[in-house]
Amino acid sequence: MDHLIILLIFLAGAFMEYRVLMKKRQVRDIVVSACFLSVGVALVLLRQLQVNLPSPMMGINVLFKPIDLFMSRLLK
Amino acid sequence: MSGCKRIGLAFTAFILMASLLTGCWNRRELNAISVVLAMGIDWVDEQYQLTVQVSDPSQMSINRSGERSPAIIFSERAPTIFEALRKITTKASRRMYLSHMRIVIINEKIAERGLRNPLDFLFRDHEVRPDFFMAVAKGCDAKDILAFVTPMEVLPAIDLYKSLKVSESSWAPTSAVNVVDMMQKVTKDGIEPVLTGITLIGNRNKGMKIDNVKQPKAYAEYKYTGIGVLLDDRIVGWLGESDSKGYSYVSNNVRSTVGHVRCPNGRDNFVVEIYKSHAEIIPSIKDGKPHVKVKMKSDANIGEYHCSADLGDEKVFSQMQQVAREEQRTTLEHSIRHVQRKYGADIYGFGEAFHRKYPRQWNKWKKQWPEIFKNDLQVEVVITTELHKTGKILNTIHKQP
Amino acid sequence: MDNEKLTIRQMTMWFILYQLGSAFLVLPSNLASIAKQDAWISLCVVLTVQLLMIMVYGGIAKQLHGVPFEQYLQTLLGQWLGRLFLLLFTLMYPFLILSLVLRDLADYITTLILPETPMSAIFVLMLGVVIYVVYCGVTTIGRAAEVLFFLVMGLLALGYVPLIPKMNLDNLLPVFEFGWKPVVHASFTTMAFPYIESILFLYFATHTKKPQEWRRLVIKSSLFSGSLFMCVTVIVISVLSQGVVSTVGFSSYFAVRTISFSDFFERFEIAVSVIWFIAIFFRMSLLMYVSAKGLSTVFKMKDYRSLLIPIGLIAYVIAGTVWPNTAALFTTFRIWPFYAMIFGIICPILIWIAGQIRQSVSN
């Protein structure tokens, strides 16, 4: 529920932004911005539906763990 | 933008800002919290008994009724301290607010079992500030000490706190242990923590009633007694008055103190009032064994003089100084030796001195330091005290010849 | 876009506040848990490496010849490769740091100050302010930096000068007890954030008239913030001793909590933690500006402003999922420096080398 309220706040801001952009007819800006915004909205909705989103740090942790072990042993 | 729209927008912005500044999600209304001034921890029936002393705000104002006590005690039992604290809300109308805690009193039984676990909550909670004192209740429950009515201050916890603070700066055998000191000493391996003891003297039951302060002589009073020696986080013993004094000298806790010295020729005493004191610990290694030289320099005045010798004579004065030095040396040596032989707990920080100066050697000694401290450490005490003034009069007043 | 110029003073102050950001609160604990009482020596190591890296950044700045950094990448690597590189760089570095910084702030607030507030509330408030100020333009942020800088310095003095009488220099001995290895190991975290992130300052390299000026102001800001860190670390470790500092999570805050003079000058640690809010604000605004600018160049947009709200929204979600508990936080802290070094050390060196090659080829 709280995520949806926040989503509405962001969407309101985006709406005001798009009004300005429409007036200036900057099509490219609107398209790119809308793509990112849809990604964001999708993520928030997934979060609201309690889907466990993977964190980017988990991937990084797995990838870089051997380097960390190597460095710790080197500098013991 | 038209003027009306602008004003409307500005108004909305102000209202939004004002509402966001109140921080209402985590609000604690003042009349929903109770300020805890002192906390006592006891061990009853295999459970922690937590006692909190809170102040009654209505009794601190001008229109106070003399009927109600200014401080209120709540007590609860639970397997852990945090639970006991929350359980107290079943008896109190407000939530306990720990940020203004002044002193924590711990039962002797808990101190003997180990202090690490009960204190974990106090280190961990975000509300608790690291500026409270700690004391161990001897011969009575922590609950009794908190329930006690004190003569001087309206709120008993403030009385305990102020007394400890004042006593530490004017009477060497008392040592006020701040929780940050405690944390530091527990994490360092070259120094052991100490705790001050508090006890109740007199008729305890009457001491908890308002009758205690209705006449000049209180029925019961509290007293800070001596210093408790801890090994790791357990109390292993208590030091007497003179040994506690030695400890305060060596750990540079003495801001001003008073002690009597026997006159060189006679049965009377004179009093040395020390107003400045500094002790230096110089470690050295002789024949592979640790050796410590404690150099102490104090400045003192003569505070009370019962002897018959004439203080105007320089020889007499330096004799008094020599006797005072001897007295200090014996105090320190006896204190250090007593702690060494009996407890093997390095409360003076000699180990830390070795850690700083001889880190490699210390690495080898670290694990067995209590034994090395007990058996191998040689301590030498050198005192350079100077007596300066004698107060308003020179010799005791007597008939002029 | 013409009014988006920063003066040298504004840039220096902004960069100093940026570097003061995340590291200030957790720095002493982090350093002391590895290097123990030699934590302040780690900072010397960090500053040395930082000065070396500034040479590289200065070299890149010289190669820019007035072209903004984002567009320079395209001229360097060709249109498609340059834009791809910029896209990956922006998504994997400043954008990720934005979420991490946001989550760090929320962690701090919910641990120490407002434990029952959900993190979403803190995220939204902070993101709202940052989005608005980046929307207003870089000049606004520069002016805000000028004003708030003195407030931050004042609060730092207020918080740490009273600790000086309580300093016990014995707590800093013995020096180099375990050799130089822990000192170097501890320097990794401080290098990772905030110092390696100086590559992001390249986005502002064209605001000065000459690249030497830019290099000088980056050196000045790094040295200033480095010496501040060193002072704070020395003070905190000498007041609290390294055992306490490595155990307690937020030790600079904890040290300020112990100040108590005459029973009245005490208990003002929250005023000092305002420093941290302000520094995080400037950090996030720089990161958001850099991300938006980078992404808008990749997609050839006219104005980066329309990307701010989507970026904010995605950062809000990612910040919520970045680490589920404190233990994962520690793992991340330990591994992050190596990830950051790819972007902060290897990338600039590669860019610089590529620029040198291009220059020698075109000559």
Q: Distance from C72 to chain A by nearest Cα, in Å? A: 21
Q: Which chains touch B (3 or more CB pairs under 8 A)?
A: C
Q: Does B352 touch chain C (CB under 8 A)?
A: yes
Residue C305 pLDDT: 86
Residue C50 pLDDT: 92
Contact C306 A21 (CB under 8 A): yes
Q: Does C271 touch chain B (CB under 8 A)?
A: no
Mutate: best of C321, C329, C345, partner A, most A CBs <10 A: C321
Domain map (residue ranges) of chain A: 2-74
What parts of chain B have a pLDDT lower than 50? none
B/e letters for A17-54, b = 16+ CB within 10 Å, e = fewer, are bbeebeeeebeebbebbeebbeebbebbeebeeeeeee
Contact between B164 and B157 under an 8 Å Cβ cutoff? The reply is: no
One-letter amino acid at B322 equals Q
Q: Which chains touch A (3 or more CB pairs under 8 A)?
A: C
Residue C151 domain-assigned?
yes
pTM of the model: 0.88
The nearest alpha carbon in chain A to C182 belongs to A75
Residue C1 domain-assigned?
no
DSSP structure string for B261-316: EE-SSSS-EEEEEEEEEEEEEEEEEETTEEEEEEEEEEEEEEEEE---S-TTSHHH
Between CA B48 and CA B40 the distance in angstroms is: 10
Tokens of C287: 């990161």
Whose CA is closest to B270, among B394, B401, B398?
B394
Residue C102 pLDDT: 92
Query: C6: part of which helix (H) or strand (E)?
Result: none
What are the pLDDT digits (tens) for C60-77? 888 888 788 888 888 888
Residues 6+ apart with CB under 8 A from C320: A47, C103, C119, C120, C123
What are the pLDDT digits (tens) for C154-187? 999 988 999 998 888 888 888 888 888 888 888 8
Q: Does C314 touch chain A (CB under 8 A)?
A: yes
User: Where on the phi/psi map is residue C176: left (φ > 0), alpha (ψ -120 to 50), or beta?
Assistant: left
Between CA C246 and CA C243 the distance in angstroms is: 6
User: Hey, is C354 helix, strand or coil?
Assistant: helix
Give the C-alpha distances (Å, rounded to integers) separating C200 from C57, C196, C212, C221.
10, 9, 17, 14
Q: Distance from C20 to chain A by nearest Cα, in Å? A: 23
Tokens of B355: 């850690």
Residues 6+ apart with CB under 8 A from A7: A41, A44, A45, A48, C313
Q: Which chain C residues touch A22 with a CB distance below 8 Å?
A: none
Residue B1 pLDDT: 59
Q: Does C309 touch chain A (CB under 8 A)?
A: yes
How far does CA C327 lie from the centroid of its chain? Answer: 23
CATH number at residue C44: 1.20.1740.10
Contact A67 C96 (CB under 8 A): no
Tokens of C271: 């005023």
Domains and CATH numbers, chain B: 29-238 (no CATH), 241-401 (3.30.300.210)
Contact B25 C177 (CB under 8 A): no
What are the pLDDT digits (tens) for A15-34? 888 888 888 877 888 888 88
Query: B137: part of which helix (H) or strand (E)?
Result: strand B133-137
What are the pLDDT digits (tens) for C288-343? 999 999 998 888 888 888 889 999 999 999 998 888 888 888 888 888 888 888 88
Of C300, C314, C322, which has the smallest distance from its Cβ to A40's Cβ? C314
Residue C44 domain-assigned?
yes
Domain count, chain C: 1
- In degrees, rounded to 5, the angle at the alpha carbon of residue B176 between the alpha carbons of residues B228 and B152 is 115
Contact between C107 and C322 under an 8 Å Cβ cutoff? The reply is: no
Contact between B138 and B108 under an 8 Å Cβ cutoff? The reply is: yes
Pairing type for strands B47-55 and B33-44 reads antiparallel
What are the pLDDT digits (tens) for C35-61? 888 888 888 899 999 999 998 998 888
Between CA A20 and CA A25 the distance in angstroms is: 9
B/e letters for B30-43, b = 16+ CB within 10 Å, e = fewer, are eeeebbbbbbbbbb
Of B26, B130, B352, which has the smallest distance from its Cβ to C257's Cβ? B130
User: Hey, is B237 helix, strand or coil?
Assistant: strand
The nearest alpha carbon in chain C to B158 belongs to C263
Residues 6+ apart with CB under 8 A from A56: C96, C318, C322
C306, with CB counted inside 10 A (0-12, 13-18, 19+), is buried
Contact C96 A41 (CB under 8 A): no
What are the pLDDT digits (tens) for C236-287? 999 988 888 888 888 888 888 888 887 778 788 887 788 888 999 999 999 9
The nearest alpha carbon in chain C to B102 belongs to C263
What are the pLDDT digits (tens) for B66-91? 777 888 899 999 999 999 999 998 99
Q: For chain C, what is the mean pLDDT?
A: 87
Residue C291 domain-assigned?
yes
Q: Do chains B and A touch (3 or more CB pairs under 8 A)?
A: no
Residue C82 pLDDT: 87
Between CA C179 and CA C188 the distance in angstroms is: 16
Contact between C255 and C235 under an 8 Å Cβ cutoff? The reply is: yes
Q: Does C244 touch chain B (CB under 8 A)?
A: yes
> Is C213 a residue whose pLDDT tops 90?
no
3-state secondary structure string across chain A = CHHHHHHHHHHHHHHHHHHHHHHHCCHHHHHHHHHHHHHHHHHHHHHHCCCCCCCHHHHHHHHHHHHHHHHHHHCC
How far does CA B140 lie from the centroid of its chain? Answer: 18
Q: Which chain A residues touch C94 with a CB distance below 8 Å?
A: none
Beta-carbon contacts below 8 Å between B and C:
55
Pairing type for strands B269-286 and B133-137 reads unpaired
Residue C74 domain-assigned?
yes
- In degrees, rounded to 5, the angle at the alpha carbon of residue A12 between the alpha carbons of residues A8 and A18 is 135
Residue C13 pLDDT: 93
Mutate: best of C109, C175, C177, C259, partner B, most B CBs <10 A: C177
Between CA B319 and CA B270 the distance in angstroms is: 12
Give the C-alpha distances (Å, rounded to integers) separating A59 from A39, A54, C128, C189, C313.
20, 9, 29, 19, 21
Q: Where are the beta strands (DSSP E) in B4-85?
A: 33-44, 47-55, 71-78
Residues 126-155 of C with CB under 8 A from A: 128, 131
Long-range CB pairs of B19-25, under 8 A, 24+ apart, other chains included: B20/C125, B23/C114, B25/C114, B25/C116, B25/C117, B25/C118, B25/C121
One-letter amino acid at C337 equals P
Contact between B41 and B81 under an 8 Å Cβ cutoff? The reply is: yes
Residue C354 domain-assigned?
yes
Q: Does C243 touch chain B (CB under 8 A)?
A: yes
Q: Which chain C residues touch B356 with a CB distance below 8 Å?
A: 170, 173-174
Residue whose tokens read 């933008």: B1
Between CA B222 and CA B198 the distance in angstroms is: 7
Contact B184 C244 (CB under 8 A): yes
Using 50, 70 and 90 to split pLDDT, how confident is the model at C2?
very low
Residue C95 domain-assigned?
yes
Range of C320's domain? 8-362
Residue C2 domain-assigned?
no
User: Hey, is C4 helix, strand or coil?
Assistant: coil
The nearest alpha carbon in chain B to C129 belongs to B17
Q: Distance from C188 to chain A by nearest Cα, in Å? A: 10
Contact B26 C125 (CB under 8 A): no
> Within a 13 Å sphere around the CA of B72, how many CA atoms are in the beta-carbon half?
17
> Is C1 a residue whose pLDDT tops 60?
no
Tokens of C115: 């434990």
Pairing type for strands B103-107 and B177-178 reads unpaired
Q: What angle separates helix C23-35 from helix C181-190, to the nearest 10 degrees?
A: 160
Residue C73 pLDDT: 85
